[in-house]
Structure 1
Amino acid sequence: MSHQRDGLSNCKLALVFAVLMDLCGVVVLLLGVFAPLEIKGQDFGDLLVYSGALLVLMSMGGWVIWYSGNIEGLTSKTEWSGGMGGAMDRFARRVSRKIRVPRSHSVA
């Protein structure tokens, strides 16, 4: 039996989070730029621009978790055994394992 992998493989929840935050952020940012949003003389365009930019920045966390969860076999464990790099690697792997969606295996 060969082990087949799809293009997205691990951490699909982080990928969905990142894509949704990007889409929401871009929509809110563009609304703030192009829509005339005044309520009782107050302009809320700036608030939407900043909120959209913040949503896009928050999506970066999802992209980092998704990307780091899909890295396999690049380095040996002895190279990352100490220092800050090893701690970040262990943290990223622990987070991605907790949010990884289990795959169902079907026998054909």
Structure 2
Amino acid sequence: MLPGKLWGTCRLGRCALFFGLALLLDVVGLVLLLVGIFASLDFWDFLIYTGSLILAFSLLFWIAWYTLNMEVPLEKLDL
């Protein structure tokens, strides 16, 4: 094994759009959550709840990305 190839190649698979949306929602949700926690604003509770809801919603995109990238060989399918 070559030293440059220790971790293999990075592939996003067939559903790069779901990966991008999930990553974007994670970043936005985490930013809103941390701003709601650490900033002294009057509407901190709105930011905390919105950030956590966005993080929970991003799980749907992570699940969709994972399940749509699963590959099953034709031999294993009973067609």
Matches within 5 A, 1:4-19: 7-19=11-23
Taking structure 1 as the reference length, the TM-score comes to: 0.58
Q: Give the corresponding residue for 1:31.
A: 35
Match of 2:50 in 1: 51
Question: Which amino acid in the other structure matches residue 57 of structure 2?
Answer: M
Secondary structure of 1:59 counterpart:
helix
**CA distance in structure 2 between the aligned counterparts of 1:7 and 1:46, rounded to whole angstroms:** 38
Give the number of the structure whose residues are more often helix, by fraction. 2
Off by >2 Å, runs of 4+ in structure 1? 74-78
Q: Could you tell me how far apart the structure 2 residues matched to 1:46 and 1:16 are?
A: 27
User: RMSD in angstroms over aligned alpha carbons?
Assistant: 2.1
Query: By how many angstroms is 1:71 displaced?
Result: 0.5
User: What letter matches 2:44 in structure 1?
Assistant: G
Structure 1: gaps spanning 5 or more residues = 39-43, 82-108
1:88-99 alignment runs, 5 A limit: none
Partner of 1:87: none
Task: Tell me what 1:61 maps to.
Answer: 60
Larger Cα Rg: Structure 1 or Structure 2?
A: 1
